[in-house]
Amino acid sequence: MAPDSLAHLAQRLQAFADARDWGRFHSPKNLASALVVEAGELLEPFQWLTEAQSRELSPEAKDAVALEMADVLLYLLQLGNQLGVDVVAAGHRKVDINEGRFPSA
């Protein structure tokens, strides 16, 4: 498994949680709730920006956004781990569905 793959990251994240005995807290409901909280935090740096400003973040703001994006990704991977869902396969399946719903011009 490539060290830069999502599967490797999911495995590493599971080992991290297991080493801290966090499984008892990681119910699908709790993980979905935490994911929504983190998604809200992702929005915060953009809150009062114009569309143009949101495309031209300072390096510090971009780094803060990157870390919030990582939080969202990590909770999504943990939720996939708990439910036995391969989120990459689910993502490909959803793109397939959307290609059928929204054909290109």
Write down the pLDDT at residue 4: 81
Summarised one tens digit per residue, pLDDT across range 39-75 is: 999 999 999 999 999 999 999 999 999 999 999 999 9
- Identify whether 1 is part of a domain: no
Q: For residue 17, what are the contacts with CB-CB under 8 A and spacing of at least 6?
A: 23, 26, 78
Q: Is residue 7 one of the residues assigned to a domain?
A: no
Task: Specify the CATH number for the domain of residue 54.
Answer: 1.10.287.1080
**pLDDT of amino acid 53:** 97
Note the pLDDT of residue 1.
77
Structural domain including 33 reads 24-101
Query: For the chain, percent helix, then strand, then coil, each to nearest 5?
Result: 75, 0, 25
pLDDT at 3: 77
Total tally of structural domains belonging to the chain = 1
- Whether 44 is in a domain gets the answer yes
User: Is there a domain that residue 42 lies in?
Assistant: yes
Task: Decide if 16 is inside a domain.
Answer: no
